[in-house]
Amino acid sequence: MSNETKEAHPLLIANFLFRTENITARDQSSVQTMELVRKNQPLVQLVLPPVDNPPKRPLELVTGKHTRLTDDKHTISAEIDGYPQISSKTSQKMHLIMITMIPLVTISKDMMEAQLTIYPPLSDTPGPTLEIIAEILEGNDIRFGIMEERLSQLLQYSATEKIILKNKTVARGFLPINGKDSLLRFNIEVGPLPGKLLGNGTIDFRERKMFVGVSKGQVIATRVPPTSGTPGLNVLGDEIPQLPGRDIPFAVSDDAVYDEEKGLVIASRSGILSLVSDNSIKVCAHQLIPGNIDYSTGNIESQDAVEIKGTILPGFKVDTRGDLLLGGNVRSATIKCGGNLVIKGGILGKNCKVSVAGDADFSFIEQANLRVKGKTIIRKQAYYSTIMSDGDILGQKSSQVMAGFLMSGASITLGNVGSPNAPPTLLAAGISPGKYLRYLRIRAQLRDTEQECLTFLQLHGMKKNIKQRQSLEEAINTLYQNMTGLDLIPAGTSGSESAFLKTISITVEGTIFSGTEIQIGNATTTIEYDFHGIRFSLHSDNSTFIETDL
């Protein structure tokens, strides 16, 4: 056996290459500060100890955030500009030292803000100058939006007060200014549009101004073209593209014409102006019917704006191309309105079917069906009825909704919903009414097929008429897939469904009773408790409901 022995490696100690100090702030609190170190600067090195004071245990360097260790594991250096922080851990066999860098500069994820963390200078050393900080900002590619005056103030304040300032904004980009959509600027007073959201958050429920007269050759509106907008810049100096304004289409019909060269909508004949929610402008004649729609008048089919002073009696039909103002009720009758519909009375009867191309404004509806392309305004009550509206459904604060389905492609705002003595009400917002009706048909068909399959199994068991049982099971599976795969969100929101759903809410200003089923987009829930003054919206996950007190 060889008598040679391996020479033991000498134990090393840490030599710190930066200074820290405990100082007293203006408020007499103790503050640990440290000097600002630059990127790539060595922070700590392992060196031989004094001969007369050897260490008791081996020492090892460990890198923390924003630091790196040399290959020989003897030196830690800074990867960024900032402030080094020491932490250590000692065991019987080993002593560990870790260095972490606190960044001087941080940049927000969207690159729109740059922030500084500033430590007060050591007592015998001047702090970093404005020029040094500017150099560091440039080294971090921050070239735009630097607030030099604020930066100077922060450096002075930290040094004077001897306090640490964390994450103070010193550079800010500016957001792009999106272009404005094209619009029609009306040259005549068209009156209030009920359902408008006012500045204080309330809803304007004033009466709609009907039958606004125009003269031949009169300019109705001027088209204002879309604007392109202005791009933004982030703190790195990169351009942020803006969204140009959209060219919103509009339509003119009947006795309204559009002069494309001048951008003017003009009345080609004297008549009544009708503004429909899908950006459609009509000029029609005014037809007045002083009484009821009954056997003395027969059904009404008109190219004009129609005013009926009385009631539409059961079984009769009214079809108008323009606006319709009804002074009485609709009783188990049919209305097809190509403009806006205002009913001073109500809509009554299981056989009552009303479709409206514009907005619908009525006092009450009971056991009827209503389809509206624009907004729906309920002034008093809606009982046991189906209301489908592409626009908002709005009820006055005192309104009452009981049973039935209310489906909106936008938001719903109502007074009181439900009753302990009535079947549950369904409120669905941010959905396509047409898609939702299809969903309900598939759901009902699925339940019927499941019941048929259950009855079959009770009568025949699993071993008889296997082909018939398999056929029922396949039908159930197909219906379930069709139902769960149906996206109820309105068309046109593809790729931006989350942004769309953020704008959707169901608001009840009065009481909403337990058992009411609510739906926003594809998410649904049942109200388990009575609420008063509540707004329902969706969390960003598009599936969890948020309840907010009014």
Asked whether residue 472 is assigned to any structural domain, the reply reads yes
Residue 199 — very low, low, confident or very high, per pLDDT cuts 50/70/90?
Answer: low
User: Is the same domain home to 422 and 453?
Assistant: no
Looking at residue 465, its pLDDT comes to 66
Looking at residue 3, its pLDDT comes to 39
CA distance 282 to 271: 9
Residue 493 — very low, low, confident or very high, per pLDDT cuts 50/70/90?
Answer: low
Look at 237-251, 288-302, 467-481 and tell me which has the smallest mean pLDDT.
Answer: 467-481
Which has more pLDDT, 54 or 319? 319
Whether the per-residue pLDDT at 10 is higher than 90: the answer is no
Our count of domains for the chain comes to 3
CA distance 527 to 536: 11
User: Is the same domain home to 391 and 445?
Assistant: no
User: Is the same domain home to 365 and 453?
Assistant: no
Question: Which of 151, 170, 189 delimits the end of a domain?
Answer: 170
Whether the per-residue pLDDT at 537 is higher than 70: the answer is yes
Q: Of the ranges 148-152, 451-455, 493-497, which is most confident?
A: 148-152
CA distances from 363 to 336, 376, 405 (A): 18, 11, 17
Angle (deg, nearest 10), helices 130-139 and 148-161: 120
CA distance 106 to 244: 31
User: Quick check: 380 and 397 in contact, CB under 8 A?
Assistant: no
User: Is the same domain home to 335 and 447?
Assistant: no
Number of CB atoms found within 10 A of residue 4's CB: 6
Above pLDDT 90, what percent of the chain? 62
Asked whether residue 494 is assigned to any structural domain, the reply reads no
Looking at residue 495, its pLDDT comes to 53
Above pLDDT 70, what percent of the chain? 96
Task: State the average pLDDT over residues 477-492.
Answer: 83
Task: State the average pLDDT over residues 262-283.
Answer: 87
User: Is the same domain home to 37 and 106?
Assistant: yes
Asked whether residue 383 is assigned to any structural domain, the reply reads yes
Whether the per-residue pLDDT at 91 is higher than 60: the answer is yes
Asked whether residue 5 is assigned to any structural domain, the reply reads no
Asked whether residue 254 is assigned to any structural domain, the reply reads no
User: Is the same domain home to 323 and 348?
Assistant: yes
The tens digit of pLDDT for each residue in 69-88 reads: 999 999 999 999 999 999 98
User: Is the same domain home to 366 and 418?
Assistant: yes
R_g (Cα) of the chain, nearest Å: 37
The tens digit of pLDDT for each residue in 406-441 reads: 999 999 999 999 998 899 999 999 998 888 888 888
CA distance 128 to 473: 76
CA distance 26 to 88: 30
Residue 464 — very low, low, confident or very high, per pLDDT cuts 50/70/90?
Answer: low
User: Is the same domain home to 123 and 57?
Assistant: yes
Looking at residue 4, its pLDDT comes to 38
The strand ranges marked E within 156-205 are 165-172, 177-178, 183-186, 196-197, 203-204
Q: What is the dihedral of CA 479, 485, 486, 490, to 10 degrees?
A: 180
User: Is the same domain home to 367 and 388?
Assistant: yes
Amino acid in the structure at residue 243: L
Question: Which of 114, 143, 170 delimits the end of a domain?
Answer: 170
Q: What is the dihedral of CA 189, 194, 196, 198, to 10 degrees?
A: 90
CA distance 285 to 192: 22
Question: Considering only CA atoms, which of 368, 379, 375, 364 is closest in space to residue 414?
Answer: 379
Question: Considering only CA atoms, which of 409, 414, 417 is closest in space to residue 492?
Answer: 409
Residue 508 — very low, low, confident or very high, per pLDDT cuts 50/70/90?
Answer: very high
User: Is the same domain home to 51 and 84?
Assistant: yes
Looking at residue 343, its pLDDT comes to 96
Asked whether residue 4 is assigned to any structural domain, the reply reads no
Question: Considering only CA atoms, which of 334, 341, 332, 345 is closest in space to residue 361?
Answer: 341
User: Is the same domain home to 151 and 66?
Assistant: yes
Looking at residue 12, its pLDDT comes to 85
Question: Which of 170, 196, 219 delimits the end of a domain?
Answer: 170
Length of the chain: 550
* Owning domain of residue 371: 285-432+504-536
CA distance 354 to 372: 8
What's the predicted TM-score (pTM) here?
0.69
Q: What is the chain's mean pLDDT, rounded?
A: 89
CA distance 38 to 61: 20
Asked whether residue 381 is assigned to any structural domain, the reply reads yes
Asked whether residue 407 is assigned to any structural domain, the reply reads yes
Q: SS3 string of 490-534?
A: CCCCCCCHHHHHHCCCEEEEEEECCCCEEEECCEEEECCCCEEEE
Whether the per-residue pLDDT at 6 is higher than 50: the answer is no
Q: Which residues, listed in sequence order, are joined to residue 427 by a DSSP beta bridge?
A: 406, 518
Looking at residue 209, its pLDDT comes to 82
What CATH number is associated with residue 145? 2.40.50.100
User: Is the same domain home to 469 and 419?
Assistant: no
Amino acid in the structure at residue 393: I
Could you give the maximum distance between any two Cα atoms of the chain, in Å?
131
